[in-house]
Amino acid sequence: MRPFIKSYSSHFIFFIICFSSLSVDPRADNVDPQLINVPLPAFKSSLEKTKELVQNVASTMSHMHAGEDYENSTVVVISYCEDLLNETADVLDWSLSTIDDLKADVVSHMRTWLNISQSKEKICVDTFQNMIDSNVAESLRQMTKSIDEVLGMIQVQQQHHLHRHNSTAAPGSDPALSWTADVTVSQDGSGKFKRIMDAIAAAPSHSQKQFVIFVKKGVYKEYVKIDKTKTNLVLIGEGMSVTTISGDRSNASGWATMKSATFDVRAEGFLAMNIGFENTAGPSKGQAVALSSGSDRSVFYRCKISGYQDTLLVLSGRQFYRECTISGTVDFIFGYGTAVFQHSRIIPRKAIKGQQNTITANGRLSEDSSGFSFQFCRIEADSDLVGNVNSTKTYLGRPWGKYSRTVFIKSFMSNIIRPEGWLEWSGENNLDTLYYAEYKNYGPGASVAGRVKWPGYHLISEADSFAVDKFIGGKSWLPSTGVPFKADL
């Protein structure tokens, strides 16, 4: 990853979407006015025109990949936004497929998806406006405006409840024990499937209920991708060190960073327990993602996430990591999403000669609510660094995005952490717009006496705004998972 740069300005045709009058009685089309407040043909037309706009902007972005004026970092951003546009088009496709059989739960789900898509696209608007191409930014604004208008036609409110078909775990017990598997994956043939992807394919699409996949112990050498349609999946292994999903894609072997993930989940409501995700490409192969999550309201409990550079991509959405072990070297926890890490082990590993470790590279692109919050975690050197921590300098993070935001709260820091704590990305860029903070950390690496003196670095006296409840709204959706969490600080 490299810092974002300005690029050329390309000509782009703007698509203006005109909507039908909202004054017609919706009941003329036999649609319950409590679902949508316009006639069905007008609603369908708006969805179709919005989809056309989305596809045209996505097409423009796809042609920008080959631009000689773009550096790799800018291509990463373009690819990210293009992927979001394609996901939005999928949402609109699904919405159109349900148009002749609208029900309250379907329309509520439609609202949820469009809200998520819109919030993600607004990040791209700011990035294109400030750093890449203002013409495309204007087209994105028109698109988000049209999504706003579609949302204005929907009467059903977004629902956050989840139908769970199992009992809640008793306090102090393993939440995984409270689940009943819908299907089992086993390499020895004792389950219904031998491959995880086959089990995922068998899961219902657009489900409002959790579908549980139990994966028996073993190393599963496959690349898993869960698209947006496979909502509310639960993946449970037999232990983070005995059930492992393994891959080795990397930049060095020809894979773009965001396409290199061993495990990639985009569907909302994903839950993983007692399982490992690894990328074994090695320290010399560049960016090589083990786990990529673009799943809103996703939870990872007692998971091992192992790699070197760019191990964990927190792509987008609200995410919660509890009692996980995450290891790597350069920027090994990175991305644009909003994540809380509680009671997890963060393990810097020995990097190749000339490299330095940065635990985080938050890519926040605007002054939105995203960022990373580490609470009650332990930062300790891997076995290959213990006893020689100076062989690879290790920092808490560096600013990938202009408004990069990361906080460490009540966490143990071993002597692996450098006295200055944080590292510049490129000279003094972003040092006044980033937000890095520390609160009541302890251990030999937690001393703040030698910390950086940047305008954006803070020693804070309270951290409530970064707690689970306020930062990711956890009280409204985490209880249904059965996973323990501390809502406040």
Q: Are residues 73 and 200 in the same domain?
A: no
Q: How close are the terminal C-alpha atoms of the chain, in Å?
A: 33
In terms of phi and psi (left: phi > 0; alpha: psi -120 to 50; beta: otherwise), the region of 323 is left
Residue 290 in domain:
yes
Q: Which of 104, 135, 153 corresponds to the end of one domain? A: 153
Q: How far apart are CA 260 and CA 253, in angstroms?
A: 9
Q: Are residues 104 and 194 in the same domain?
A: no
The pLDDT value recorded for residue 81 is 82
Residue 17 in domain:
no
Report how far apart, in Å, the C-alpha atoms of 83 and of each of 121, 184, 462 are.
10, 31, 37
CB atoms within 10 A of CB 448: 12
Residue 293 in domain:
yes
Cross-sheet strand order for the sheet of 291-293: 224-226, 263-265, 291-293, 312-314, 333-335, 357-362, 394-397
Residue 18 in domain:
no
Confirm if 123 and 365 have CB atoms less than 8 A apart.
yes
Confirm if 397 and 360 have CB atoms less than 8 A apart.
yes
Per-residue pLDDT of the chain (489 residues; tens, 9 = 90+): 544 433 333 333 333 233 333 333 443 455 677 788 888 888 889 899 898 888 888 888 877 765 544 445 567 777 778 888 888 888 888 888 888 877 777 777 778 777 777 767 767 787 787 667 878 888 888 888 888 888 888 877 655 444 454 444 444 557 766 788 999 999 999 999 999 999 999 999 888 899 999 999 999 999 999 998 899 999 999 999 999 999 999 999 999 888 999 999 999 999 999 999 999 999 999 999 999 999 999 999 999 999 999 999 999 889 999 999 999 999 999 998 999 999 999 999 999 998 999 999 998 878 888 999 999 999 999 998 887 888 899 999 999 988 999 999 999 999 999 999 999 998 888 899 999 999 999 999 999 999 999 999 999 999 999 999 999 999 999 999 999 999 988
**Owner of token pair 């399982």:** 275
Q: What single-letter DSSP state applies at residue 59?
A: H
Domain that holds residue 202: 183-481
The pLDDT value recorded for residue 172 is 52
Q: In the 3-class helix/strand/coil scheme, how is 387-444 assigned residue by residue?
A: CCHHHCCEEEECCCCCCCEEEEECCEECCCECCCCECCCCCCCCCCCCEEEEECCECC
**Domains in the chain, number:** 2
Identity of the residue numbered 49: K
Residue 28 in domain:
no
The domain spanning residue 458 has which CATH number? 2.160.20.10
Q: Are residues 188 and 125 in the same domain?
A: no
Residue 199 in domain:
yes
Q: Are residues 148 and 194 in the same domain?
A: no
The pLDDT value recorded for residue 173 is 56
The pLDDT value recorded for residue 478 is 94
Q: Are residues 270 and 383 in the same domain?
A: yes
Confirm if 257 and 291 have CB atoms less than 8 A apart.
no
Q: Are residues 428 and 316 in the same domain?
A: yes
Active site residues per annotation: 310, 331
Q: Are residues 239 and 314 in the same domain?
A: yes
The pLDDT value recorded for residue 421 is 97
Positive or negative CA dihedral for 381, 382, 387, 389?
A: negative
Q: Which of 113, 133, 153 corresponds to the end of one domain? A: 153
Q: Are residues 371 and 477 in the same domain?
A: yes
Q: How far apart are CA 254 and CA 59, in angstroms?
A: 23
The pLDDT value recorded for residue 62 is 77
The pLDDT value recorded for residue 158 is 54
Q: Are residues 146 and 187 in the same domain?
A: no
The domain spanning residue 73 has which CATH number? 1.20.140.40
Q: How far apart are CA 225 and CA 219, in angstroms?
A: 17
Q: Are residues 140 and 190 in the same domain?
A: no
Residue 432 in domain:
yes
Q: Which of 153, 168, 203 corresponds to the end of one domain? A: 153
Q: Are residues 141 and 228 in the same domain?
A: no
Residue 252 in domain:
yes
Greatest Cα pair distance in the chain = 76
Q: Are residues 477 and 400 in the same domain?
A: yes
The pLDDT value recorded for residue 346 is 98
Cα angle vertex 289, ends 285, 294, to 5°? 160
